[in-house]
Amino acid sequence: MKQHFKILVCPPEYDLDIQAQVPLAMAALHNFICRNNPDKIYDFNKVGLDLDPRGDVGVLAVGLPGPVECGEAQDRHTEVARLMWAQYKVTLENRA
């Protein structure tokens, strides 16, 4: 599982309460993928695998994120949540 979920290898910068839940969450996610579509578990060590679907590549930041970075992250989070909600509503409509 460490090969698929690098968060299990690199020390995360989260509270201990959250860190304690990460391995269980990764195990649950792994089992879900294996049961529903095992072909979707990728080998992230393969060269040339595009992990960033947006296509933009940046540089690693030094230090804590500033207000601009926090705003960009919040905007991206909001957009992902909006798209997920729209997809969920379509799924519900298709089931009806």
pLDDT at 72 exceeding the cut of 80: yes
Residue 57 in domain: no
User: What pLDDT, in 10s, does the model give residues 18-32?
Assistant: 888 888 888 888 888
Domain count, the chain: 2
Region label for 3, one of left (φ > 0), alpha (ψ between -120 and 50) or beta (otherwise):
alpha
Residue 22 in domain: yes
Residue 59 in domain: no
Per-residue pLDDT at 80 = 92
* pLDDT band with cut points at 50, 70 and 90 for residue 53: low
Per-residue pLDDT at 36 = 77
**6 and 36 part of one domain:** yes
Give kind and range of the element (H or E) at residue 82.
Answer: helix 67-95
Per-residue pLDDT at 92 = 92
Nearest-Å Rg of the Cα atoms of the chain is 17
Residue 50 in domain: no
Residue 3 sits at φ, ψ, to 5 deg, of -70, -30
Per-residue pLDDT at 63 = 74
Residue 95 in domain: yes
Per-residue pLDDT at 46 = 55
- 81, 89 Cβ separation under 8 angstroms: no
Position with higher pLDDT, 50 vs 63:
63
Per-residue pLDDT at 50 = 52
Residue 73 in domain: yes
- 17, 28 Cβ separation under 8 angstroms: no
pLDDT at 56 exceeding the cut of 60: no
Residue 56 in domain: no
The whole domain housing 37 covers 1-44
